[in-house]
Structure 1
């Protein structure tokens, strides 16, 4: 027996969760709260009004601790005493069983759902991906509970701006705001910008909501973020923040999952000029998570001028040059020893070692030549 085609109200006021059901063919007489995969009833509640229950979240946490229940997920079941006349005619001895509260096809009113804390514990009411009401105990509700799917369908970068567009699908709750955050990995300097949101559709079960989104990031906004970069190379990461109606927690995660065509056509860069240096931004998608990121390479004016000439093919370069290196500030592994071997045994090979000029490992080259500064004009 699945309850459906009716209206449900879920309203949280701090430590109270009120559940109301409006349906002519529903007569809820009991509500049960149980640890997942257990027949043990942690709480059994009677309605406070017809088809209306109130769950005391503070008492629920106390009961969980008192009964030493370790489960981090709780299920909610209800007993529906309404039985239609046709069912009574067919099954005289029907025994009514509790069922999970299914929210599919329901006209939902959800307000103020959030984590409630008591002492060192916290509990969060939420709607599962399959459409059941549940509680999470001392565990964060994953973003994927409400954000079902997200895809980057278009990406472009030039020397003036970055434009990103895509689509997002949410479970049950509608999106009220979407934002993009970008920040350097080495500095706490997050910049957040609002995005444009276009509602597309809701499926017939009222379980999925589809939207288009887009973000425009100007050169000036990016310059403000990287102006305090404190190393010759860094990485700019991008997060997406989704706020849904009725749930107070912000759903924040890395922006990624591009379509194949977006990855294949990824190209372009941007050069930002600050008072002391230039920063080149080059986009890529991370190997493991397929998330959007950008390399941030710092150049002085001479280096960036040489770099532009190379790109424009206005500068001839030496032939058969070997550039050897490790991390930009390291010279202590295979790259370093290979370079030493070449300079000692094959001086005819035009090999250079590339390293940051302020690296401590630069002292390893005090008696050696063919060493160039990382991101200097000479490296181009």
Structure 2
């Protein structure tokens, strides 16, 4: 009988994969808590929550129970012209969790569509008000998804190269640092034509795909104040950072200047089912509220506000706000701090950084993002029963909140081995 890995190769095309270089996929047959099990029975600690989604652990019993109960009541119904209890209950729960200026929610399917909708909201907001603003502002090295608007505002050419001639107009600025903040603010105030900019989209505090590049809340706050003073809508891409990873419910909670629009997905449904939400202020919504049908936001997805996904999200919020999960988040933060104190001065470590439960270290080696050394690192981790996906020379951890101390120590031990072997 053929293995899953062998059967996979006949028809499947995997994301972010050059199949000629990496033809073989590992078959996973089971997951529970922070552990994945492959078709040969080997276990792996999921150190990145399966792309930052399964933050309460895989196959969480509380989430399964809520989704199962919903499955017997209402599985799917079109969300244009109809509504249902799971979507309404989720809207109430989310609004109570989000920054206080958020009032309206627009459902979609994934992180890319969440940001795509945020971009469309910003562009059409000004159009509906009779203003010509067609430029978007974004950070260098940002990543916001793979649909065309999301690609346009993303700055990683490894993903976007073949499509760049077709993008919307985007101005890029560097991520703020102690050294460049003054010149950056001067550029925004005096050089850049912010009156032509419709929206500023940013990953608050942590740029995930840019190898967990981090910036300070007080620096971002100053940028937000400047752009908002020019009528630019601010769009926080919290697809990765949302739902507790930065130590607060949302990264935007670290600042007093709140975004006009927030994009959410990934941990929204705890890794159980695909769904996304783009929230906005009443001011943004009001620009679309009109007797003129053309001023409406004509965007939709078949599985918008799917009742099962809403049930999973509601169960996830219950867990996130529980005393147990909040204590677990605090423990993980402390574990990372202790580990960092141990290895940050190692001769093979170029730099370390941490925001909440997200921890990253850069190896002092020159390597390609998807090169042979990176592949060797990945194979080392998998060989030691740890699932981490290095980004170039950056090793990062974003483990489930329910991970045990022993499981986290296995991740740390595997990284220690890297520092001795590579």
- Give the shorter-chain TM-score range: under 0.3
Give the strand-richer structure, 1 or 2.
1
Q: Larger C-alpha radius of gyration, 1 or 2?
A: 1
| TM-score normalised over the length of structure 2 | 0.20
Identify the structure with bigger relative contact order (alpha carbons < 8 Å, sequence gap 6+).
Answer: 2
